[in-house]
Amino acid sequence: MLSTDIRQEIIVKRIEDIVSILMSERPLFKEELDYDKTVTHLAEVFEKALSVNEFNNVSEESLKNRCSGIMSLHLLAKIGEEFTPKQMAIFDDAIKRK
């Protein structure tokens, strides 16, 4: 059985690669999200959600899509922090209509 440190290293390395790709493909991610915090957060999410075997069996494309979705939510949350109460009400209304 792999030690916890080795399991974490496996997950972190793979996520680092994916985050690097996503940040190069989508400059807004690179501009607005902190690389180290993003990698740490994603590693924690996947460590809690999947065993190492399950994580290793996730395809690169699926992992990229999952990471992209989580990163997009973080970006949206960051953008929302700058909204005035009126802008937030407009945003909430727009989301409810969808």
Contact residues for 88 (Cβ-Cβ < 8 A; gap 6+): 80
What is the number of domains present in the chain?
1
**Residue pLDDT, tens place only, 4-44:** 677 788 889 999 999 999 999 999 999 999 999 999 999 99
Q: Is the pLDDT of residue 71 over 80?
A: yes
| Full-model pTM | 0.79
User: By residue range, what is the domain housing residue 24?
Assistant: 4-97
